[in-house]
Every structure is written in structure tokens, then in C-alpha cells.
Amino acid sequence: MQLPSLTMTEYSIVFNILSFTIATMGAAALFFFLAAQTVEPRYRLGVYISGLVVAIACYHYVQIFLSWNGAYTLQAGAYVPTGKPFNPAYRYVDWLLTVPLLLTELVAVLNLPRNVGRPLQVKLIVAAVLMIVLGYPGEIATAASTKWLWWAVAMVPFLFIVYTLFAQLSAAVARQPERVKDLVAGARWLTIISWSFYPIAYLAPVAGLSGSTSEVVLQIGYSIADIVSKAGLGLYIYGIARAKSDIAEPAVSPA
């Protein structure tokens, strides 16, 4: 993937957002691992998964940060490519690990019966893996038609996930205790809204933006979406687990 030259401001914006994301993910991981001890054992899995998600993301953002720095050098007041590649695969490896975990923690905190929760998790995980794998060829493509093609194909499992979160989990959300119903609904909405940033940022190179602007928008969009969908959702998961720990609650059925 050929990188554009960047102004000092453009380079610094990406540099700072990557640095901020590393700090956010690292701090969130520490918080979730420690906070898991404050909820009942049956709800700890979701909180521990939240910690694992942001810990994995923190590691990959360090790699993205190093790759970004290695890909540019300052010359005559502008940052120009060094010839070393900036590797977008770090993001996709991260998503391949963390996106299924995000869906797992969302389902886990609902405390569904095992015969309902496990098949639901399997369907969501398979769809998530397909979405990421199908999106990567378009990410590294230079032709607009190729990028649009793989975007459209990857949107099929994405829309399936959105449909499942709404249609198949609506009854389960409605049967949650009143103290956590709004939190559960909010976690579901946060997942859907934050995930919507990814296909938008993905299209930055073919959506009227070009050169350095496209690259900056892409990196900012992905980073913000990762912070919201991982650290943000983790806070919701912890809030739900903490609230449920304060009340007696049997497993709920989605129907």
C-alpha cells in the first residue's frame, strides 16, 4: 500500500491518536482485570473478556504505532514515506481476535440459558470472522472498484450481526431486570453505532477524499471506533455485571 506524504500537522494528528489509543486500552485493561473482583463470580467472565479485549488491542496498537513511525521520516518540513511499509494487517489481526470476544461478552452478560447462549455466540462469531476476512482484501486494494466490491461483500455478515443483535436479543433485553435493562440496551446500541464507523472509515479512500486527507481520516476513524467499541463497551459490561451482582436474578430466556 503506497503511503502519501503528510504535513507535520497531519502526521502529528495520527501520531497522537495512536498514542492516546494505546494509553486508553492499557488503562482500561488494568481497570477491568482489577474491577472483575467486585462483581459476582457468574458475571466475572464478561468483565475479564473486556479486559482481554483491550489488552489485545493495546498490544496491536503498539505495533501499529511503531509501524506508522517506521513508515515516515521528516524531510524539509514534511513527512515522506521511508519505503518501509505501514502494515494494515495489525488492525485486522486485532479485529479477528477482539471482535468475536466483544460479541461473546455482550451475550455472556445477558446470562442466557446455555442451550440458547452458546448457539447464539457461535453464529455471531462466525459472522464476525467472515466480516473481517472479507474486508481485508478491500483494505489493501488500490482500485476503487475492488474496494467497493469487498466492502459490499463484508457488509453481508455485518448486517446479519446487526439483525441478530436487534431481532434475536430484543426479547432477552426486555426480560432483563429493570435496574440493568437500560444498560443492556445501551450496550447493544453502542456496539451497533460504534461498529458503523468502520465501514464508513473503510471507504475514505474512495468517498471523495484523497491522498493525505484520506489516510488521516482512515486512521482517526478506526482508532476512535476501537476506543468506543472496546473500552466503551467494556464499561457498559462492567456496569451491567455490577448492577446484576446487587440483585438476585435467574437465567433469562430470549423468548
Please report where in the chains the cell 457498559 appears, as a residue: 236
Beta strands in 126-242 (DSSP E): none
CA dihedral 35→39→44→49, nearest 10 degrees, is -30
CB of 197 closer than 8 Å to CB of 221: yes
86: DSSP letter: P
Per-position pLDDT tens, the chain of length 255: 578 899 999 999 999 999 999 999 999 999 999 999 999 888 888 899 999 999 999 999 999 999 999 999 999 889 999 989 888 889 999 999 999 998 888 887 776 777 777 888 889 999 999 999 999 998 888 788 898 999 999 999 999 988 888 777 777 777 777 778 888 888 888 888 888 888 888 887 777 666 788 889 889 999 999 999 999 999 999 998 888 888 754 445 544
pTM for this predicted structure? 0.87
143: DSSP letter: S
The amino acid at residue 28 is A
The secondary structure element, H or E, covering residue 74 is strand 72-75
255: DSSP letter: -
Distances in Å between the Cα of 124 and the Cα atoms of 100, 128, 217 are 7, 6, 29
CB of 84 closer than 8 Å to CB of 139: no
